[in-house]
Amino acid sequence: MSTETATKRGVVFRVLDAMDAPHSGRILRLRLQSGEAPSIRSLKGAELRAVSPTGHERRVKVIGFALFGGKPSDTRLARTGRIDVHVEESGEGDPVGLRWEVTRA
């Protein structure tokens, strides 16, 4: 990916792991691929666009954060580039999975 493309798209995450959440939605473990780490506050309730390696697209809404690796914080996200989000997927199609790319909608 060229730097120009990454800059135009802003923050880009890659899905490292995806699983069904216990009661509803999905848990996505994300790694920051490019861009500056956003604040936790800006992610809460955010609409995100997920694109599969084959080009299929899904919209997801962040409804919370998983606490597997500890309480999420701006400092931790900036330091590690990783965050676990609890999302609701909208529309029909394959669920978001490994190696999908996630950006702001």
Domain boundaries, the chain: 3-104
Return the pLDDT at 9: 63
Return the pLDDT at 1: 41
How many CB atoms neighbour CB 51 within 10 A?
15
Return the pLDDT at 68: 80
How many CB atoms neighbour CB 67 within 10 A?
10
pLDDT in tens, 30-77: 999 999 999 999 999 999 999 999 999 999 999 999 988 788 999 999
Closest CA to 31 of 91, 72, 76, 83: 83
pTM of the complete model: 0.88
Q: Is 98's pLDDT higher than 90?
A: yes
Q: Alpha-carbon distance 104 to 50, whole Å?
A: 9
Q: Is 6's pLDDT higher than 70?
A: no
β 101-104/47-51 pair status: antiparallel
CATH code reported for the domain at 3-104:
2.40.30.10
